[in-house]
Copies of this chain bind each other. A is one copy, B any other.
Amino acid sequence: MQSSYSEVDPELLGLISQIKLIVFDFDGVFTDNTVIVSEDGKESVRCWRGDGLGIKRLSELQLQTFVLSTEANQVVAKRCEKLKLRCFSNCADKLVVVKQEIINMKLSLSEVSYVGNDINDKDCLEVVGLPIVVQDAHLDVLPLGRYRTEKPGGYGAVREVCDLFFKAHQIKAL
């Protein structure tokens, strides 16, 4: 069952209020899933400026965040540095990292939200409390999302997730 941003149904609000950690995949979530390759073999990715404002507002809430990527290229780290986000790249098995980190943070999987777009996010999406998929996620993972962003990856999807949490916390605070 999926819901979209404009509604923010009560059940989703309840789920959000239990989340203590948001884990983001990188490519296809922070980016439009393209990579620009130069003739020197250097890679660049295309990100959304508006994510910065969202991440900044998120940091005002009592929420942990980190970014988790299979990709080895340091472009992941460079973008996360700018957004002041912790980052694990070159990560062969994402669920292993998530499980290790929540032990360190003394959290349970039900307190985790995971934002992904492809089959290497499947294991994580299947076990966390609030699985989120981007609008243009791979067909094989779309059904795993409890929430599907209206915006595609790299075009406001991260910002939308941040706004969703921010507004849910505002409603809760009323």
Binding site for B on A (CB under 8 A): 27-28, 31-50, 53, 71, 73-75, 78-79, 81-82, 118-120, 138, 154-155
What residue in chain B is nearest A30 (Cβ atoms)?
B37
Q: How far is the CA of A145 from the CA of B141 in the complex (A)?
A: 28
List chain B residues, Cβ under 8 A from A42.
38-40
List chain B residues, Cβ under 8 A from A27.
49
Copies in the complex: 4
Q: A49-B31, A53-B118, A138-B50 known; A37 and B75 CB under 8 Å? A: yes
List chain B residues, Cβ under 8 A from A138.
50
List chain B residues, Cβ under 8 A from A48.
33-35
A interface SS class: mixed
Q: How far is the CA of A44 from the CA of B138 in the complex (A)?
A: 26
Q: How far is the CA of A49 from the CA of B48 in the complex (A)?
A: 17
Q: How far is the CA of A47 from the CA of B37 in the complex (A)?
A: 7
Q: Are B49 and A38 in contact (CB under 8 A)?
A: no
Complex partner residue of A82 from B33, B37, B75, B155, CB under 8 angstroms: B37
Nearest Cβ in chain B — how far from A119, in angstroms? Answer: 6
Show 16 residue pairs from A and B whose CB-CB distance is below 8 angstroms, ordered by the A residue: A28-B50, A33-B49, A34-B154, A34-B155, A35-B47, A36-B47, A37-B44, A37-B82, A38-B43, A38-B78, A39-B43, A39-B44, A39-B78, A49-B71, A50-B118, A53-B118
